[in-house]
Structure 1
Amino acid sequence: MQQPAGSQKKGRPTPTRKEQEAARRRPLVPDDRKAARQAQREAARRAQMETRIALETGDESRMPVRDRGPQKRFARDYVDGKWSLGEWLMLIVVAWLIASFTVTGNFQAQAVMYGVLWAVMGLVLLEAFLRSRGLKKALLARFGEIEPGTVWYGVTRQMQLRRLRMPRPQVARGEEPRR
């Protein structure tokens, strides 16, 4: 009569408690601290480089968790396929700052500049609101339900300069999101 598969003998005696404790015992601090620290730095640098390459190529298996998933990919493609005033907001604010330092004595010009800045900010907020509604509708049509944070992910991506977006845009302006 054969023994069941999981109940075969192990072929050696059970180690005593003293032998088990001795096998587990190792120093708290490695012998070569510098080598251990260097190996840890290299591992961290290698992981960071893999993540950077994944963000540039669109490889989702190595992306950070916040960028993974079909809904996040759809939100990226949805936003990247459209023109946006929000992505130019930072450059507009920098130009406004430079202009505000050059126009110091003319209060009427400063009032106009403030009005223009507030108008641009209002347009950016309106655009973000409208884009978030469109993204919600598109996500619901495509996936049936929306993962938490996906719409905000798309709106914040819309506010970044296209060249600085990570993960890199995978669709050209005017294109529809990929399937």
Structure 2
Amino acid sequence: MNDANQKDNVDNASASEKHSKAYTPKKGHATPSRKQAQAASGAFEARFSTAESYGESRKKRKELKASMSDEEWKQYKADQKEARRKQQQAAQAAMDRGEEKYLLPRDKGQEKRFIRDFVDARRYLNNLVMPFAIILLVLLFIGQKQQTLGAAVSMVAMVIMIVLFIEGVYLGRKASRAAKAKYPHTTESGFSLGFYAYGRATQPRRWRTPKPRVEIGDKVE
């Protein structure tokens, strides 16, 4: 058995020497089709669509259309559209509530849930990033015609950006330390947790998904 293993190792080494540095080994499996990727667990389509495949659904629709009058078919399509709308609304509501099944991969996990509560319980200057960006664009547009105003706006914008960056670094490090202290065996990296906290903080509170579960000022442990 050892001789066979040694022979395989020698053969693999010889094969690797024959290939150039640019050689990419085969994956060992075929690249999934678009339909297979959409049906994979965790994909958007898999979470919000029916369990039927595209081919099955298309065949069913053809059979139904053949058995219906034009008016019945129009009504059927209207009913299906309304059913999809309600399904999407229900899925979005479940996502807003933070139900794990409907969350995006980036939002899943107890650590991410803790980070969201940690950020949602406090106010940060980074909460104003979007309004500040809109105001800055307007002022810079005006400043193109008034050089004095443009120079002043650029200086103020630079100062604000530095302040926001410093706060973002501070928030990210503080949130990641708190999450790791609560979940010492987490496999999430400190950078990943910190960046997630920063991204959450830069979104206006009412636009956040999942929706905040805590009020500002609540103690999160």
Residue of structure 2 in register with 1:16 after alignment? none
For residues 115-134 of structure 1, the aligned pairs below 5 Å read: 115-134=155-174
Task: Report the CA distance shift for 1:132/1:153 in structure 2 as closer, same or farther (over 3 A).
Answer: same
Q: One-letter code of the match for 2:129?
A: L
Aligned length: 152
CA drift at 1:88: 0.6
* Equivalent pair of 2:143/2:153 in contact (CA under 8 Å): no
Residue of structure 2 in register with 1:3 after alignment? none
Moved over 4 A (4+): 33-44
CA drift at 1:65: 4.0
Task: Report the CA distance shift for 1:106/1:150 in structure 2 as closer, same or farther (over 3 A).
Answer: same
CA drift at 1:92: 1.2
Match of 1:152 among 195, 215, 219: 195
Q: Which has the higher helix share?
A: 2
* Equivalent pair of 1:81/1:176 in contact (CA under 8 Å): yes
Q: One-letter code of the match for 1:67?
A: D
Residue of structure 1 in register with 2:141 after alignment? 101
CA drift at 1:38: 6.8
Q: Deviations over 1:133-153 (max 9, x none)?
A: 001110111000352543322
* Equivalent pair of 1:77/1:176 in contact (CA under 8 Å): no
* Equivalent pair of 1:140/1:146 in contact (CA under 8 Å): no
Q: Secondary structure at the match of 2:118?
A: helix
CA RMSD of aligned residues (A): 2.8
- Distance in 2 between the 1:54 and 1:66 partners? 16
* Higher RCO, 1 vs 2 (CA within 8 Å, ≥6 residues apart): 1
Q: Mean Cα displacement is larger for which, 90-99 or 71-80? A: 90-99
Match of 1:171 among 192, 210, 214: 214
CA drift at 1:170: 1.2
CA drift at 1:42: 5.6
Q: Mean Cα displacement is larger for which, 79-88 or 149-158? A: 149-158
For residues 1-179 of structure 1, the aligned pairs below 5 Å read: 29-30=59-60, 31-32=63-64, 44-144=84-184, 145-148=186-189, 149-177=192-220
* Equivalent pair of 1:60/1:68 in contact (CA under 8 Å): yes
Q: Deviations over 1:71-91 (max 9, x none)?
A: 111000111111111121111
* Equivalent pair of 1:51/1:63 in contact (CA under 8 Å): no
Q: Mean Cα displacement is larger for which, 136-145 or 40-49? A: 40-49
The structure whose Rg is larger is 1
Unaligned runs of 5+ in 2: 1-55, 66-72
Q: Mean Cα displacement is larger for which, 89-98 or 136-145? A: 89-98
Unaligned runs of 5+ in 1: 1-25
* Equivalent pair of 2:98/2:211 in contact (CA under 8 Å): yes
* Equivalent pair of 1:136/1:146 in contact (CA under 8 Å): no
